[in-house]
Amino acid sequence: MAGEIISVRELPNYLAVNAVLIQQFNQYRDTDEVRRSHYFSGRYENIYLDLDKVPAMQTVMQQAHCFAQQILNTSQELKRGFWFNLMLPGHVTQPHTHDDDDEYLSGVYYINAPENSGDLLLNIESESIQVHPQAGKFVFFPPDISHQVTENKSNDERLSVGMNFGIEIDDI
């Protein structure tokens, strides 16, 4: 069942891309250039930076867009959004879904994922699927699946990117 719902892919040349992403993210992470949302358990779960501040995200999002088209079996242009998720030691991400609007596919891309930095839990019906993060990996899943991230028990920061994809609808 989970294999049909969850799709795992890898970004080619992720080591070089991730090194630049970390540098670009760190340059702005504590500035007024970021927007934050979803304050739970003493931290903001979503950190938004414009693409011009983190141009290396273009590589990630272009590849994610291609994967999303394959998964959704469409050649149609997809609208997309992304945000960073920084988890310090002791942090968790609360259970939630991404089906608030018109999302067709959700995903996460791992930039830095130290050992024991928190697993992705996908709650599918009565089953909980545990996904161990790995730098350079994408995990895609339907937006209506409740998911969360377990506690970062490492001594290091974990950095990932959440993303959503939807179908572009032309204005009539």
Full-model pTM: 0.92
Q: Which CATH architecture has domain 2-165?
A: Sandwich (2.60)
Structure tokens at 52: 């011009």
**44-102 pLDDT per residue, tens:** 778 889 999 999 999 999 999 999 999 999 998 899 999 999 999 999 888 888 877 77
Least confident stretch, 35-39, 52-56, 147-151, 166-170? 166-170
Q: How many CB atoms lie within 10 A of CB 82?
A: 21
Q: Number of helices (H) and strands (E), helices first, in the chain?
A: 3, 11
